[in-house]
A and B are shown apart, each in its own frame.
Chain A
């Protein structure tokens, strides 16, 4: 079975400090990978997606960047955090194409980032 892990689960960082959130997927190969952000009480905003190693697409301009150094590893980074970067960050994966299904995303448990 497939599993997705992301860490750390909780992070409190000062403004201007760097950020690194990691996500790994197990039990599948060549997945599509995604980073979403969820503000408190709000919906999910797609930040980045990746269809392969080294291939990153950004959905919104922002202070964050993403990298995919390995097939099943997705990293969200920032060189200098802003207060507005606070939120709940979710990593997700999906199969390539629809594969006969809805193309559903499978989410990790999330990383809560508080920037002070």
Chain B
């Protein structure tokens, strides 16, 4: 069946270091891949997305890489800050049956230490 999962459930980094959060997916038919950030007790917030025909997309301090050969997605955060501490979810998006179907991974907790 379809699944989106993460390699590491928790990631601890030092403030100022770069962070890399990984995600594996199984459905090659997805149109987009999206990263969300969820702070404790809040709803997930959109970070960045990448279309399935792209390999790399950059935002402010974040870069998403897509490797379709091995069905792998990663989120890179440059100069990680304490405010980056949160749970990060990857999701694959496809348009099916009239709605945007998102399948979420289990999440990775990022802990930033001073």
Contact = CB atoms under 8 A, between A and B. Distances in A.
The SS class assigned to the B binding surface is: strand
Chain B residues touching A, range: 20 to 34
A7 interface: no
B33 to A, nearest CB: 8
Given A42-B106, A43-B104, A102 B43 contact: no
Interface residues of A, number: 25
Contacts of B104: 43-44
A110 B95 contact: no
Interface in A82-116: 90, 92, 94, 97-98, 101-110, 112
Interface of A: 32, 34, 42-44, 46, 49, 51, 57, 90, 92, 94, 97-98, 101-110, 112
